């Protein structure tokens, strides 16, 4: 009976895991360098954890079901609500700020396409307990530094910045009564035609003057542009964007920043700065995205605990790295292959392997009782760096020689 894997999920063979672990290692290395500490949460969570505040798009994509105890549960589609739950559970004990990251398997029931899967691994980094522009900028810098660590350059990607309070104030000042549907339209603007976008705005009661003001938003590319735009906005929210921009300049990211007020982000829990990282060619969807969520912990009966965080998925990131030729250097390899000439020499071969492994080397020994030629073919197929041959003489003398398979020289 042939059983195929489920649609939208992936198998990972050894050569695939080399790429995955390369990405995971970069996530952990950069997060640790910023002082973030690793956490993890269950892959199964109570359904209401995500229906409470995640937004319509995410809740419509949940893998949810009722378990044998009649509890409504779901596979996690993201991890930010789980992080909020962790805070609530130990809020009195935790020292602020909590700077946490996770590498988590997530699931969303959506149409599989390039860079978008039903099963994916997501890196999340959250800083909780503070609401300062420097915390926001540092979180964005962390996301950017991951891409730089993986070999991308400032010519490969950019940061789109926006601010939910700023957009809210502009909408209120142009007398938009029902803001949430307009948010949703702007969030999917790139996926629909200009005609459908305008019709959607009119269906939500906007007149031509209001639509002109919204279109004016899309011409703003910097804080200077916003100041000159003539739009009426909240000055505190504007100052917040300006301060974060200044700090990002201090982090060395000035050339990557674009103010883009079309960035809304689909989650309903965002309250302040929101951001996305995109490749400059526009070929891929957002490589990372996040924002400030100051009220999410309170939704789950905790004390107010402001937070800033982002998510970065492995699927889009791997496609981007492959496109840029940054995965060619990755290959499977083994430090030593030990060929065994006769089963009677196996014990000494194991002794040699044990010694090498204690020194931190990866070692394979012959386990298939093949002839020497076939053992050599196998050593080459696994990209072994060094060869050790254990025969009668080596066993008798308790000695061996090491051959560098790249140069052919003995060490």
Which strands, in side-by-side order, build the sheet including 44-46? 44-46, 72-75, 63-66
Give pLDDT, residue 217: 87
Residue 288 confidence (pLDDT): 97
pLDDT digits (tens, 9 = 90+) for 270-305: 899 999 999 999 898 899 999 999 988 888 877 899
| pLDDT given for residue 30 in this prediction | 99
Question: Nearest 5 degrees, angle CA 407-CA 410-CA 411?
Answer: 105
Do 337 and 382 form a contact (C-beta atoms < 8 A)?
yes
Question: What tens-digit pLDDT sequence spans the chain (411 residues)?
Answer: 889 999 999 999 999 999 999 999 999 999 999 999 999 999 999 999 998 866 666 778 999 999 999 999 999 999 999 999 999 999 999 999 999 999 999 999 988 888 889 999 999 999 999 999 999 999 999 999 999 999 999 999 999 999 999 998 998 998 888 888 888 888 888 788 889 988 999 998 889 999 998 888 889 999 899 999 888 999 999 999 999 999 999 999 999 999 999 888 866 788 999 999 999 998 988 999 999 999 888 888 778 999 999 999 999 999 999 999 999 888 899 999 999 999 999 999 999 999 999 999 999 999 999 999 999 999 999 999 999 999 999 999 999 999 999 999 998
pLDDT of residue 18: 96
In whole angstroms, what is the distance from residue 219 CA to residue 221 CA?
6
Check: CB of residue 238 under 8 Å from CB of residue 167. Answer: no
- Comparing CA positions, the residue from 249, 84, 235, 230 lying closest to residue 161 is 249
pLDDT at 269: 82
pLDDT number for residue 339: 98
Give the SS3 label for residue 128.
strand
SS3 248: helix
SS3 221: coil
Q: Could you please report the per-residue DSSP string of 352-388?
A: HHHHHHHTT--EEE--S---HHHHHHHHHHTTEEEEE
10 φ, ψ to 5°? -125, 145
Residue-wise pLDDT tens digits, 198-233? 899 999 888 999 999 888 888 999 989 999 988 899
Instruction: Sketch out the chain's domains with CATH numbers.
Output: 14-323 (3.30.930.10), 334-404 (3.40.50.800)
Compute the C-alpha angle 186/187/190, nearest 5°. Answer: 80
17-44: pLDDT as tens digits: 999 999 999 999 999 999 999 999 999 9
How many C-beta atoms surround the C-beta of residue 304 within 10 A?
10
Round the CA-based radius of gyration of the chain to a whole number and report it. Answer: 27
Residue 230 pLDDT: 87
In percent, how much of the chain has pLDDT > 90?
75
pLDDT for 180 equals 83
C-alpha triplet 243, 246, 250: angle, nearest 5°: 135
Please give the pLDDT value at position 265.
82
- pTM reported for the whole predicted model: 0.90
């Amino acid at each position: 009976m042939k059983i195929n894997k489920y649609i939208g999920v992936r198998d990972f063979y050894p050569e695939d895991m080399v790429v995955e672990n390369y990405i995971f290692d970069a996530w952990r290395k950069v997060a640790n360098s910023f002082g973030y500490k690793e956490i993890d949460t269950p892959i199964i969570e109570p359904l209401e954890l995500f229906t409470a505040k995640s937004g319509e798009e995410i809740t419509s994509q949940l893998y949810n079901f009722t378990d044998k105890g009649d509890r409504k549960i779901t596979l996690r589609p993201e991890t930010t609500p789980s992080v909020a739950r962790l805070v609530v559970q130990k809020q009195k004990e935790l020292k602020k700020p909590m700077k946490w990251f996770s590498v988590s398997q997530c699931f969303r029931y959506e149409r599989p396409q390039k860079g978008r899967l039903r099963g994916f691994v997501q890196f999340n980094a959250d800083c909780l307990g503070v609401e300062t522009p420097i915390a926001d900028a540092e979180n964005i810098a962390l996301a950017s530094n991951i891409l730089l660590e993986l070999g991308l350059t400032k010519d490969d990607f950019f940061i789109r910045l926006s601010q939910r309070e700023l957009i809210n104030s502009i909408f209120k000042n142009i007398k938009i009564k029902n803001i949430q549907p307009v948010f949703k339209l702007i969030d999917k603007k790139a996926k629909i035609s200009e005609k459908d976008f305008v019709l959607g705005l009119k269906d939500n009661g906007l007149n031509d003057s209001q639509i002109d003001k919204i279109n004016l938003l899309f011409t703003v590319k910097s804080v200077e542009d916003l100041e000159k735009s003539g739009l009426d906005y909240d000055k505190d929210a504007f100052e917040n964007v300006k301060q974060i921009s200044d700090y990002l300049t201090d982090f060395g990211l000035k050339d990557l920043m674009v103010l883009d007020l079309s960035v809304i982000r689909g989650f309903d829990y965002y309250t302040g700065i929101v951001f996305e990282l995109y490749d400059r060619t526009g070929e891929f969807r957002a490589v990372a995205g996040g924002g400030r969520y100051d009220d999410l912990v309170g939704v789950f009966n905790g004390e107010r605990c402001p937070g800033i965080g982002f998510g970065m998925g492995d699927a889009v990131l791997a496609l981007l790295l492959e496109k840029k030729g940054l995965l060619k250097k990755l290959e499977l390899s083994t430090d030593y292959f030990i060929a065994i000439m006769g089963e009677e020499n196996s014990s000494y071969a194991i002794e040699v392997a044990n010694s090498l492994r204690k020194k931190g080397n990866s070692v394979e020994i012959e386990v298939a009782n093949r002839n020497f030629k076939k053992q050599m073919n196998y050593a080459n197929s696994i990209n072994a760096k060094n060869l050790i041959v254990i025969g009668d003489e080596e066993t008798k003398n308790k000695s061996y020689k090491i051959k560098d398979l790249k140069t052919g020289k003995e060490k």
